[in-house]
Structure formats: structure tokens, C-alpha cells
Amino acid sequence: MQLKRYLELTADDLNVEYHVHTKQTDGQSTIAEILETAQARGLAAIAITEHVRKDTTWFPEFAADVRAAAQGFQNLVVYVGCETKALDTAGTLDISGDIRARCDLVLGSVHRFPSESAGYLDWDQLYDTAFARTEYELALGLLTSARIDVLAHPGGMYQRRRKQPFPEDYLRNIMMISVKTAVAIEINTSYLRDVDGFLKLCAAVNPYVSIGSDAHTLEAIGQCRNVLRSKKVGRA
């Protein structure tokens, strides 16, 4: 699915929610509840983006359930998506070909930091600089080598755990690579420690962008749209 560049966004393009989890994994709501909420909030489109791994077996049935439920919502465009993590800095994804083939939208995420010894690094043991650099390198692999549509929550692990903005140079480079690869960068205000700084960079570099709240509750659906509207993002 091809997304637009930041400066091409219209007010209508903001009216979407492209990062949602259901009860199938760690979200709290059913597919029907989520679609009803999206419709009630006037969203034009939504993507259900469940966590998947290579060995996930429930996805075909789940994707069919999403598409069946969507039939009841004529004014809402419903996409089947997934969120999958980077397994290394070469862009290897934790996803099967079968799952990918069933998705309209694939989010690639940095969730864990793989270590040399096939385990994961303990991020509490990393200096801030090493933490940020490791997350950046994993994100670069996703952007340049993985078949994804969106880099989800760039710098998100760092911002959540270290409670400060992701280094601006890293963000700028990530956005510049998006311009070349046409992989979208997620604007996800639930992770950003400096929303205005991030949007300013978006305006300067003009990457491809996706809008998602990483909603795990009904309350969170459309939250990122609301923040962007309040900041007057998007052309009239």
C-alpha cells in the first residue's frame, strides 16, 4: 500500500488510524468494537495491525474475520495489516510469506535488540548513546532491506524507556531514507516526546508517512489524528 509524503497530506488524509491491536494479541477489544468506535469517531479508514511472528498460525482466520466484519461498515475503509519485528540489522523480519500475502499493510518495528549470541540485549545495561544507535541501526535495516510499508514508531523504544526525544540526526536520516525507499515513517504521537520537533523535521525532509496510535484500547483509536488536527497538520 503506497502512502503519501508529509507535505502532500490533506486534512482528509489525516483522518485515519493505521496502528491498532485487538484481543487476539495484547489489545483489549474485539474487531467489531474497534470498527464501531472508528466509525463513531468519523474515521475514514483503519488498519488492524496485529502482532505476528513467523510461526503465527491464527492469522489466516483472523484476516478473514477482519474482512468479514468490514462488510458491515460501508463508510469505513478497513485494511488488514500486521506488525512484525526486526530480527537483525539486515532487515530480516519475523513474518512468513503467507501472512505477508494476506496483508494490505505491513508495519516493521524495532521491539527487541538482538544480540550476537541469539538472545536479546538488556537495554538497561546500555548507555543512552548505544541504546539510540542500536535502535537506529535496526530501523535502517527495516527501511532499506525489509519489505515493509511502514517503519512503526521510529525511536519508540528509546523514547519510552529513556523518556527523551530520539536524537534528531537519526530521525533526519531515517526520514531521508524514506524519501529514497518510499517506505513510510509512522507518525505515532503516543511515542513521541517532542511532537512539534518531529513534525518540523517531517516538514523539512518530507518523508512518506503513516498515521497510527498503536491503539490497544478503544480510547486510543484516532488519538494520533486528533493530535495532528489540533496542530493543523494537512492542507485544507
- In DSSP notation, 43-107 reads -SEEEEEEE--TT--SHHHHHHHHHHHHTT-TTSEEEEEEEEEBSSTT--BS--HHHHHT-SEEE
Select from 86-94, 108-116, 119-127, 137-145 the region that touches Zn ion (CB under 5 A): 108-116
Residue with cell 526486526: 86
Q: How far is the CB of 148 from Zn ion (least distance, A)?
A: 12
Please state the closest distance from residue 111 (CB atom) to Zn ion, in A. Answer: 6
From candidates 37, 109, 188, 213, binder to Zn ion by CB under 5 A:
109
Binding mask 136-155 for Zn ion (x = CB under 5 A): --------------------
Rounded to 5 degrees, what are φ and ψ at 47? -120, 125
CA 154 vs CA 94, 137, 168, 174, 192: distances in Å? 18, 11, 11, 8, 9
Residue 35-74 contact track with Zn ion, rule CB under 5 A, x = bound = ----------------------------------------
Nearer to Zn ion, 139 or 234 (CB): 139
Which residue from 5, 73, 10 is spatially nearest to 45, judged by alpha carbons? 73
Q: What grid cell was written down for 179? A: 524519501
Site for Zn ion in 188-217 (CB under 5 A): 214
- For position 104 contacting Zn ion by CB under 5 A, the verdict is no
Range in contact with Zn ion (rule: CB under 5 A) among 9-17, 104-112, 133-141, 169-177:
104-112
Nearer to Zn ion, 84 or 89 (CB): 84
Contact in structure between 234 and 227 (CB atoms under 8 Å): no
Rounded to the nearest whole angstrom, what is the least distance from the CB of residue 53 to Zn ion in the complex? 13
Question: Which CA distances in Å does 27 have to 73, 134, 135, 144, 167?
Answer: 21, 27, 24, 29, 29
Residue of 83, 135, 149, 186 interacting with Zn ion (CB under 5 A): 83
Binding site for Zn ion (CB under 5 A): 83, 109, 214
